[in-house]
Amino acid sequence: MLGYFSIFVISVFSCLSIFSSGKFFNKVFFNDQKNFFELIIFGIIFLSFLALIINFFFSLNPFLNILFIILPILYYLIFENSSYKDDFIKIFAISILTVILISLENTNRPDAGLYHLPFINILNESNLIVGITNLHFRFGHISILQYISAIFNNHFFGSNGILIPPSIIFLSLTGYFFQNLIKKKNTDNLIQVLSFIFLSYCLINMNRYSSWGNDDFASILFLICIIEAYKLYLNFNLKDLSKLSLFCSFAFLIKTFFIIIFIIPFFILIKYYKKISLSKFLNSINIFSFFFICIWLLKNYLNSSCFLFPIEFTCLYNNDWSMTKVAVNNISNISEAWAKDFPNHDNKNIGFNNYISDFNWISSWLYNHFTVILKNILILIPIILIINIFVKIKFSKIQNNFIKEFLIVSFLLCLIWFLKFPLLRFGEGFLVT
């Protein structure tokens, strides 16, 4: 019982720290009204950015990490004249749910043990290590989420602090959809329909703490980007386009494969280019997103000699710590083959290079992993039937245009996913959309 209370207390202070950081970020870059869950998301982005910058020069050690708790809370208490009662009710609710989510789990998490947790330990013990992928190639696949987890290992929380951020991230992302559902004033019916579908899917298929990887959070953030894109159809303004680009950027930093979702802000940009001037487009939010990505790419290069590991054309091989071209190519092909169900293929004499060429992988993938995908995605059918039974919806011209255009965008994303990495956890958000 004492352990559960300890998790609750850690969660309260962690959530308050993230929420306060989000309020600061919002005041600096947006300076407008945002709901509680958006502020949590902003806080996660801002603290991740600080952790990444600091780790270039210092380890994210338990002494330093205390500042990530103390300074945001002091800012909240001194400078924020908000409703403390409402904020703390929501923070306590998230903390109670965090205790429940963690207490119900006792499942082994192989990815976490294989490279997520070891890398967090490295962040806590050392500043950026040049060429770290020579120790293990999976360190080249690290997500920005490992940085946000690392900063909550401090002398107040101990190593248990790293358990809390994944729960807060999940609850804030799904809370975004919940907020759209309960909001009564000026809420578009398509936003509510999409929020209900996306929230239902996340709660049914992504509800286990032990199942969360980097991919789940990137997929949920992609679903949020779909709703943010639709809001731009209803009322285009540059600040909201910048927010969409910020969310797309963070999804990319969570999972490199999600670089393809930049097609969404690009599509919006092309659609409304007449309303955008270059001077207004280069606002502080877009500059922040661009700088964040550049720092991340630099970190990738110093870690692995590739700006986007293990995409071969983004690699430079002239450094003492560089991986060889052959090694990078093998890692890339093995990763693709694994995503295409290579471990379950019947012809054991075929190598992974031949397996991924000429669609040799199709039969094995259809027989094995495709059934897993169907099992998960078909849950959408009863969800949509429930909507059709209980809610009578008549879509407007704007809504129909959005649906038609984003069906094309989603199909294109699904096609790229299918041809390169047809693993459910890589393309879950695309398929749900």
pLDDT tens sequence across 109-126 = 546 656 778 889 999 999
Which of the four pLDDT bands, split at 50, 70 and 90, describes residue 356?
A: confident
Is pLDDT above 90 for 349?
A: no
Higher pLDDT, 277 or 332: 332
Mean pLDDT throughout 134-153? 88
* Residue 96 confidence (pLDDT): 92
The residue ranking higher by pLDDT, 376 or 321, is: 376
The one-character DSSP state at 81 is -
Q: Sorting pLDDT into bands at 50, 70 and 90, what band is 310?
A: confident
Residue 108 is predicted with a pLDDT of 47
Q: What's the whole-number mean pLDDT along residues 100-108?
A: 72
Nearest to 238 by CA among 287, 268, 276, 288: 276
For 107, other C-beta atoms within 10 Å of its C-beta total 10
Residue 314 DSSP code: G
Instruction: Tell whether the model's pLDDT for residue 142 goes beyond 60.
Output: yes
Q: What is the pLDDT of residues 395-420, one digit of tens each?
A: 888 899 999 999 999 999 999 999 98
Mean pLDDT of 323-345: 85
How is residue 291 written in tokens?
Answer: 């700088």
* Per-residue model confidence (pLDDT) at position 334: 87
pLDDT of residue 311: 86
Tens digits of residue pLDDT in 420-433: 899 998 999 999 99
User: Residue 86 has what pLDDT?
Assistant: 84
CA distances from 344 to 41, 362, 372, 377, 420 (A): 38, 12, 13, 22, 18
Position 79 scores a pLDDT of 83
pLDDT at 148: 94
Q: Is the pTM of this model over 0.75?
A: yes
CA distance 391 to 49: 42
User: Collapsing DSSP states into helix, strand and coil, what is residue 223?
Assistant: helix
CA–CA dist 129, 303 (Å, integer): 7
- Extract long-range pairs of 320-328: CB within 8 Å, 24+ residues apart: 320/131, 321/130, 321/131, 321/134, 322/131, 323/133, 323/134, 323/137, 327/137
DSSP string, 358-419: TTTTHHHHHHTHHHHHHHHHTTHHHHHHHHHHH------HHHHHHHHHHHHHHHHHHHHHHH
If you search the block for the tokens 């490992």, which residue do you land on? 146
Cα 274 to Cα 45, 56, 236, 244, distances in angstroms: 30, 40, 12, 19
Average pLDDT over every residue of 5-24: 92
Taking only the tens place, the pLDDT of each residue in 213-244 is: 788 999 999 999 999 999 999 888 888 999 99
**Mean pLDDT estimate for the chain:** 88
**Tokens 């749900």, located at residue:** 432
Q: Show the tokens assigned to 218.
A: 């990137």
Burial tier of 334 (Cβ tally within 10 Å: 0-12, 13-18, 19+):
middle
The tokens of 163 are what? 């358990």
Give the span between the Cα atoms of 306 and 141, in whole angstroms: 11
